[in-house]
A = this chain, B = another copy of it.
Amino acid sequence: MSPTPSPCPLCLDAGGLLVHQTPQWRLIRVLDDANFPAFYRLVWQAHVAEFSALSKAERSACMEAVATVERVLLAQLRPAKINLASLGNMVPHLHWHVIARFDWDSHFPNPVWGAAQREVAGGAQARLALPLETLDRLLSEALVA
């Protein structure tokens, strides 16, 4: 368990558009990357740096929520792949990236942190099967259930 750095950006505010939250975690939608509109983060509410700092029960709660987000993205968007990652080199406050990837997206098959492969005419958001607000609502409903 790491001490809280001052200031930790994920302790200061939500870190994106708040989609759903519980006392343990929150789901936000990342707003600052137009190449990846279906990019969500599951942020652990308490300031811990590493996944293994959680208890087994907390890890299970965390990853079951991640799996629920993944399942909704797969069902609604039919992506080529879901990418999951907990990195935190810059912001060492536990957060899981959950990213829907498409064979037409700007970086596929590279990771979103790798080299771009192409430009997406018309923008990525226009190619999604449903509006992001609808996706947010479906995620929130699935996470309550």
Residues of A within 8 A of B (CB): 49-52, 56, 59-60, 63-64, 66-68, 70-71, 74, 80-90, 92, 101, 108-111, 113-114
Contacts and interface: CB of A to CB of B under 8 A. Distances in A.
Contacts of A113: 110-111, 113-114
A51 B74 contact: no
Contacts of A101: 89
A59 B66 CA distance: 11
A66 B87 contact: no
Nearest to A60: B60
B81 A88 contact: yes
B50 A70 contact: yes
B84 A85 contact: yes
A51 B65 CA distance: 12
